[in-house]
Amino acid sequence: MTSLTALPLDLDQLATHPGRVVVFADPDATLPRAAKRCDRLTKGAVARAVDSADFGALSPGKSLTLAYPAGMAARALQIIRLPRKATAEQMRRAGNSIGAAQGEDAALVALDTLPARDIALHAALRAYRYQAMKAAPKGPLGSLLMAVKDPDSAAPALDDASALAQSVHLTRDLVHAPANVLNTESFAAQIAGLADSGLTVEILDRDEMEALGMRALLAVGQASDNPPKLAILHWKGAEGPPLCVLGKGVMFDTGGISLKPGAGMEDMTMDMGGAAVTVGLMQALALRKAPAHVIGLVGLVENMPDARAQRPGDIVRSMKGDMIEVINTDAEGRLVLADMLHYAAERFEPRAMIDLATLTGAIIIALGHDRAGVFCNDDALAGDILSAAGTVGEGAWRMPLGAEYQRQIDSRLGDVKNTGGRPAGSCTAAAFLERFVPEGMPWAHLDIAGAALTKSESAHAPKGASGWGVLTLDALVRAKFEG
């Protein structure tokens, strides 16, 4: 990941830095001292640029770049439009502009007295590229040198930003990894390695889950040569009942016997997006030593067609004891989460549970790729999640739960069907999960099918895996579950 370093603002260094130099300006105010020094070095080029119609047309947070500016050693001088009293959203955009332009050389960012954390965080988030599968990968992206008035005061904020950005990048890397490289066993091994960051990690295998009665989860992966795993990550930075965060980890989803169409099936390497977010969040909490008690659970399976595969019409017993009629084997993630929700509630007696899953295509039809769907049985928890998402600039929208969706999944032969058909598909999926949440337990289901992987750049990321959810859940923990 691009490193973040705090150093004192040295106006003389603006002339000698060989990479990119970043300054800030507001056309309605006098130039800040770093921009003023660059203006003198370039014999007025900065002032001419800031006074231009091109710069005036920029929205706050966007930038104009002067290549190889005369009078400076820099490869480029990036001038970002930012009001003196910038909003959080404008500072996020400024960080995105810095990160989007990041190359393999170091960037010197003349923040001076601007708040360091948000700009640095979003610069680091945007400065990302996935190179692990390239035969000849490009070199790593260069450092971000954040030149500030008081480096000692800024250092903790940059450490915090670095922990978050590193964890979002981990989430993106996991989602991008192909299923022949990242499978249930290799992912479980990678999770076990997070014990080095201070997490306590347990990995349950097939026999242990069988003994617990997790037949719904096991049925999904019974046709795969990659064995199912349940990873449990503990972070105990405080006493009291934990928050449980649960991630769907279907490492590849063919649809099983209800085989998906071939077009686009290659994207089903991302069907473990909820698991990736859970792992990224847990790493972030450990890296920043969060004063919170949080347990992450990750159910890892692969949904394949085979002679051993479950069939449409099969009826399986969940850990809770409910008999699930499998109408469609492509509605498999909810079977994984059903057993996980019951297990987490029974074993850990949490304060609240939040699950994340790339669960339904229906949520993409409803909300597109800019927002995750939030289904929640508790108004206070729903409000807290939406507030956290708004704080960090991740899109989220509350979706309905209700008895009408429960009726849609009643089963004639068993207790519940795993799908109620096409109408309200994301709502009936959430209703199915709700049956495995104990009465009175605050619970939220985040359907991230649209937000997890995008075809164009998103708020904090280039196109591809976004890492949606790590920032939101970290902000939620800070606001409501610490102390």
The pLDDT score that the predictor gives to residue 240 is 98
Give me the DSSP letters along 200-260: EEEEE-HHHHHHHT-HHHHHHHTT-SS--EEEEEEEESSSSSPEEEEEEEEEEE--TTSPP
Same domain, 114 and 205: no
Tell me: pLDDT of 193 over 90.
yes
Judge if 129 and 190 occupy the same domain. no
C-alpha to C-alpha distance for 72 and 15, rounded to whole angstroms: 5
Residue 158 lies in a domain: no
DSSP string, 140-160: PPPPEEEEES-HHHHHHHHHH
Band (198; pLDDT cuts 50, 70, 90): very high
- Sequence length of the chain is 483
461 and 316 in a common domain: yes
Active-site residue 288, yes or no? Answer: no
- For residues 453 and 464, the answer to whether their CB atoms sit within 8 Å is yes
Q: What is the residue range of 282's domain?
A: 170-481
Angstrom CA distances, 82 to 58, 114, 143, 377, stand at 10, 10, 22, 41
Cβ contact 361:271 at 8 Å: no
Q: Residue 155: inside a domain, yes or no?
A: no
**């709700």: which residue's tokens?**
434
Quick: pLDDT tens for 45-102: 999 999 999 999 999 999 999 999 999 999 999 999 999 999 999 999 999 999 999 9
In the set 20, 334, 371, 417, the catalytic residue is 334
- Which residue carries 């790339």 as its tokens? 358
Residues in Cβ contact with 439 at an 8 Å cutoff, skipping those fewer than 6 apart = none
Residue 144 · residue 124 · CB < 8 Å? yes
Tokens of 254: 């063919």
Number of neighbouring beta carbons within 10 Å of residue 387: 15
Verify that 274 and 331 share a domain, yes or no: yes
Q: Computed over its alpha carbons, how large is the radius of gyration of the chain?
A: 24
In a domain, 164, yes or no: no
Domain boundary among 84, 119, 150: 150
Per-residue pLDDT reduced to its tens digit, 317-372: 999 999 999 999 999 999 999 999 999 999 999 999 999 999 999 999 999 999 99
Q: Is 157 a domain residue?
A: no
Q: Band the pLDDT of 40: cuts 50, 70, 90.
A: very high
299 and 349 assigned to the same domain: yes
Domain boundary among 106, 121, 150: 150
| Alpha carbon distance 359, 69 (integer Å) | 50
Q: Give tens-digit pLDDT for 384-429.
A: 999 999 999 999 999 999 999 999 999 999 999 999 999 999 999 9
At 459 the pLDDT is 81
Label residue 192 by pLDDT band (50, 70, 90).
very high
What residues contact 76, with CB distance under 8 A and at least 6 apart?
Answer: 20, 21, 65, 66, 67, 68, 69, 101
Binned at pLDDT 50, 70 and 90, residue 160 comes out as very high
Task: Tell me, yes or no, whether 137 and 71 share the same domain.
Answer: yes
H or E, element range at 163: helix 151-176
Compute CA 285 distance to the chain's CA centroid, rounded to the nearest angstrom.
14
The chain-wide mean pLDDT, for the chain, equals 97
The DSSP line for 365-396 is: HHHTTS-EEEEES-HHHHHHHHHHHHHHT--E
Statement to judge: residues 453 and 345 lie in one domain? yes
CB 23 within 8 A of CB 46: yes
Same domain, 447 and 300: yes
Look up the CATH number of the domain holding residue 303.
3.40.630.10
CA separation for the pair 324, 318 (Å, rounded): 7
Residues 265 and 311 in one domain: yes
CATH code at position 24: 3.40.220.10
Residue 156 counted as domain residue: no
How far apart are the C-alpha atoms of 280 and 469, rounded to whole Å?
9
**For 341, phi and psi rounded to 5 degrees?**
-60, -45
User: Is 334 one of the catalytic residues?
Assistant: yes
Residue 56: Cβ-neighbour burial (10 angstroms; 0-12, 13-18, 19+): exposed
Same domain for 174 and 227: yes
Q: Is residue 297 part of a domain?
A: yes
* 383: in domain: yes
End-to-end CA distance of the chain: 30
Rounded to 10 degrees, the C-alpha dihedral 439/444/447/452 comes to -150
Residue 458 confidence (pLDDT): 85
- Residue 165 lies inside a defined structural domain of this protein: no
Q: What's the mean pLDDT in 297-304? A: 98
Report the domain count for the chain.
2
For residues 138 and 200, membership in a common domain is answered with no
Asked whether residue 483 carries a pLDDT value surpassing 90, the answer given is no
Does residue 144 share a domain with residue 174?
no
**Boundary (domain end) residue, out of 98, 117, 150:** 150
Residue pair 302/283 in contact (Cβ under 8 Å)? The answer is no
Which of the following is catalytic: 36, 206, 260, 351? 260
